[in-house]
């Protein structure tokens, strides 16, 4: 089963997709933020077109383990997404995914000029790979 992951941000949504075995994640694309409802509809449409069987939405937390403001926005987005699709939508801790995505670009040998720019799709792939590698799945 393919799984679609969303790294929800204020300006962009990064998307990643697993392979059919549910073992490997890859960056897919970046969608510019429009509104919660429009974004949810676009993600639901992409999930259906790609044959995804589940959607994972990354949520960030503060030091106390509570959703921070960005995490609450992601949770609200996930709720809007649940109203746009019949697919299961699960929340997943996205802590440090952007830093891991940045580190992955450095390790891959990307020149400094190519390291700049949006990492949202790569962060979504890190989020999804963390989900896929979790022993609870």
Q: Are 84 and 40 in contact (CB under 8 A)?
A: yes
63 or 106, higher pLDDT? 63
Give residue 87's region: left, alpha or beta (phi > 0; psi -120 to 50): beta
Q: Could you tell me which residues are beta bridge partners of residue 59?
A: 93
Q: What is the pLDDT of residue 137?
A: 75
Tell me the C-alpha distance between 29 and 36, whole Å: 18
Q: Which helix (H) or strand (E) holds 28?
A: strand 25-32
Give the pLDDT confidence of 29-49 residue by residue, as tens digits.
999 999 999 999 999 999 999
Q: Are 17 and 50 in contact (CB under 8 A)?
A: yes
Q: What is the pLDDT of residue 115?
A: 46
- The burial of 104, by beta-carbon neighbours within 10 Å (0-12 exposed, 13-18 middle, 19 or more buried), is given as middle
Q: Residue ranges of the domains in the chain?
A: 2-133
pTM, whole model, 2 decimals? 0.85
In a 13 Å sphere around the CA of 85, the CA atoms on its Cβ side amount to: 30
CA distances (Å), origin 28, targets 15, 16, 135 = 5, 5, 24
- Which band of pLDDT confidence, cut at 50, 70 and 90, is reported for residue 119? confident
- pLDDT mean over 60-73: 93
Q: Could you tell me which residues are beta bridge partners of residue 8?
A: 13
Residues with Cβ within 8 Å of residue 38, at least 6 apart in sequence: none
User: Which top CATH class is 2-133?
Assistant: alpha beta
């Amino acid at each position: 089963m393919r799984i679609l992951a969303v790294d929800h941000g204020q300006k962009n949504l990064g998307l990643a997709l697993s392979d059919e075995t549910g073992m490997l994640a890859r960056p897919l694309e970046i969608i510019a933020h429009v509104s919660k409802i429009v974004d949810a509809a676009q993600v639901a449409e992409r999930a259906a077109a790609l044959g995804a069987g589940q959607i994972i939405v990354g949520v960030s937390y503060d030091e106390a383990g509570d959703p921070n403001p960005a995490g609450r926005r992601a949770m609200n987005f996930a709720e809007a997404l649940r109203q746009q699709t019949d697919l299961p939508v699960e929340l997943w801790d996205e802590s440090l995914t952007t830093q891991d995505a940045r580190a992955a670009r450095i390790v891959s040998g990307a020149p400094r000029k190519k390291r700049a720019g949006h990492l949202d799709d790569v962060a979504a792939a890190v989020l999804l790979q963390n989900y896929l590698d979790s022993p609870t799945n």
